[in-house]
Amino acid sequence: MLIPIQFYGTRSQAEKLLNRAAKSFGAGKELEDLFGEQIDARDVHCGIVLTGPHSSLSRQEHFHMYSFLRSFLVPFDEKVMTSVWGRWRKLLEPPWGVLTVLGEHAAKGWQIEGFHQATVSALVKNAEELDQLGVRFYSTSPSRQQSIWDVGKSLVRLLGAEVAYNDVVDRDRFVKLAKPFV
What are the tens digits of pLDDT across the range 31-43? 889 998 999 999 9
Q: How many domains does the chain have?
A: 1
Convert 4-42 to b/e letters by CB count within 10 Å (16 or more is b). Answer: bebbbbebeebbebbeebbeebeeeeebeebbeebeebe
pLDDT in tens, 101-125: 876 666 666 667 777 788 888 988 9
User: What is the domain range of residue 116?
Assistant: 2-181
**153: confidence class by pLDDT, cuts 50, 70, 90:** low
Whether the predicted model's global pTM rises above the 0.75 cut: yes
